[in-house]
């Protein structure tokens, strides 16, 4: 069986009924399985993970984008997380029997269909990008919905890959791409000073001289009275979670601020967590088959 994962991000984190309706549209496609659904009211964003064979997942992603365009209006949307679309980001991730190039083809097929049938401008990013400047999602989403409203149609550099050269009035635009597995990892700091979170994000992200496989931003979590370093780990093996956590902790100490917790948004590969256990417990000669559940699954399969 070929398996591909799709992780659409929607610009809605405060109305569960809206996300439930969007998810319902996706999983109504036979063969599409929901793996995870996360909502964050501060970011005003939802991250949904579906999996299945390529064709059903492609159809499910399209239906999710179409439903989001009906239910989410960017003109009245406010939240901490950058966004340019109701369905903001839709990446395909190879899981089993599927190559990255297969996912690139899926992204381009989805983008063409969204642009043609829904009239929403589509920007291809990461491995599906058609130009080097669009590999980085932050560059694609620069200026967010409001900035894109001003530039699309007048600045050729902002022309979409598919769809009209004008913003959709309520649904904005969508970034569709193909990428490796990403770990969304947030670290919370015990201060209300968002400048501290932004300074630490700048120190750890690759684009400003930090860790190679890290993207990061600083946010304020007003309802909790704290700030957050929001991190995308684009290669958890090249830059493991524990290394990021330790660097944030050290940087926070320089500002006289404690780390009060961290969180993983969505799914995470078990190897990423096992690596943390090996690091912090200083395990010597540890083998994966020492894990009880591993041994049980092996015996059940034999």
Cβ-contact 161, 111 below 8 angstroms: yes
The packing angle between helices 194-204 and 241-254, to 10°, is 130
Cα separation, 85 vs 31, whole angstroms: 27
Cβ neighbourhood burial of 80 (10 Å; 0-12, 13-18, 19+): buried
Cα separation, 225 vs 189, whole angstroms: 10
Q: Under the phi-then-psi rule, with left for phi > 0, alpha for psi from -120 to 50, and beta for the rest, what region is 57?
A: alpha
β-strand partners of 227:
189, 220
Cβ neighbourhood burial of 166 (10 Å; 0-12, 13-18, 19+): middle
- Compute the Cα dihedral for 253, 256, 261, 265 and give only its sign: negative
81 catalytic? Reply is yes
- Pairing verdict, β 259-265 and 226-233: unpaired
Cβ-contact 86, 226 below 8 angstroms: no
| Catalytic residue chosen out of the listed positions 43, 77, 81, 255 | 81
Tokens of 236: 């958890």
Tokens of 168: 């959709």
Active-site positions? Answer: 81
């Amino acid at each position: 069986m070929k398996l591909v994962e799709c992780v659409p991000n929607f610009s809605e984190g405060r109305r569960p009924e809206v996300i439930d309706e969007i998810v319902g549209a996706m999983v109504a496609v036979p063969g599409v399985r929901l793996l995870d659904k996360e909502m964050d009211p501060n970011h005003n964003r939802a991250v949904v993970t579906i999996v299945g064979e390529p064709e059903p997942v492609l159809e499910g992603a399209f239906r999710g984008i179409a439903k989001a365009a009906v239910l989410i209006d960017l003109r009245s949307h406010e939240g901490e997380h950058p966004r340019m679309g109701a369905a903001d980001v839709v990446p395909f991730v190879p899981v089993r029997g599927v190559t990255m190039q297969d996912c690139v083809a899926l992204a381009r097929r989805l983008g063409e269909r969204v642009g043609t049938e829904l009239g929403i401008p589509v920007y291809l990013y990461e491995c599906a990008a058609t130009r080097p400047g669009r590999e980085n999602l932050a560059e694609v989403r620069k200026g967010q919905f409001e900035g894109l409203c001003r530039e699309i149609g007048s600045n050729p550099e902002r022309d979409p890959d598919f769809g009209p050269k004008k913003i959709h009035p309520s649904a904005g635009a969508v970034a569709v791409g193909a990428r490796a597995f990403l770990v969304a990892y947030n670290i919370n700091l015990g201060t209300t000073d968002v400048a501290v979170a932004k300074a630490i994000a700048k120190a750890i992200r690759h684009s400003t001289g930090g860790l190679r496989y890290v993207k990061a931003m600083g946010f304020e979590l007003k309802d909790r009275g704290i700030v957050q370093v929001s991190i995308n780990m684009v290669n958890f093996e090249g830059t493991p979670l524990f290394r990021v956590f330790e660097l944030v902790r050290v940087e926070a100490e320089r500002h006289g601020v404690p780390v009060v917790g961290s969180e993983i948004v969505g799914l995470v590969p078990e190897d990423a967590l096992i690596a943390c256990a090996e690091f912090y417990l200083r395990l010597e000669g540890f083998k994966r088959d020492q894990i009880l559940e591993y041994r049980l699954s092996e015996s059940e399969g034999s």
